[in-house]
Amino acid sequence: MAAELISRLPDRFWCVPYVGARFPGSAAVAGRPGLAKGGNCQLFAYAVLRHFGLEPPALRSSELWADTATTVRVAVARPLDLLLFNATDDAYGAHVGVWAGPDQVLHLCAEAGRPAVWPPAAFADRPRYRTLVGVKRVMAPAGCR
């Protein structure tokens, strides 16, 4: 599914610019949802999941990590799971990416400026992303389980 997931992502996703001020709950997003004006890692990851039929909560990293109503922590990632990376094991301010398959994390970060697919080792090589806080799976909408 990894190659399929990447290939099924519409071209418009690959052109999204990184805009740190556009995060879930921000004034920059209020009334202007979507990615046309850019987004941060969370906004981008959630849009990817919605494209594939999931309903992720619009939460910041630490809220996402603590959430148990719509997501669950898992030990082994599968496609469309959310990975949280940070300098430490603290979820506050963690970077969020989407597991696209073996050795592939789809994400949007300031460093790349546009969506990119990195292997987990590329995160470990960067001090700000060196720690995998963990993996969260968005539960399927009711009626799809």
CA distance 39 to 90: 22
For the stretch 76-95, pLDDT in tens is 999 999 999 999 999 999 99
Domains and CATH numbers, the chain: 2-138 (3.90.1720.10)
Phi, psi of 76 (to 5 degrees): -125, 125
CA distance 86 to 116: 17
Residue written as token pair 């148990």: 68
pLDDT-based confidence at residue 3 (cuts at 50, 70, 90): low
Give the tokens for residue 144: 């799809």
pLDDT-based confidence at residue 98 (cuts at 50, 70, 90): very high
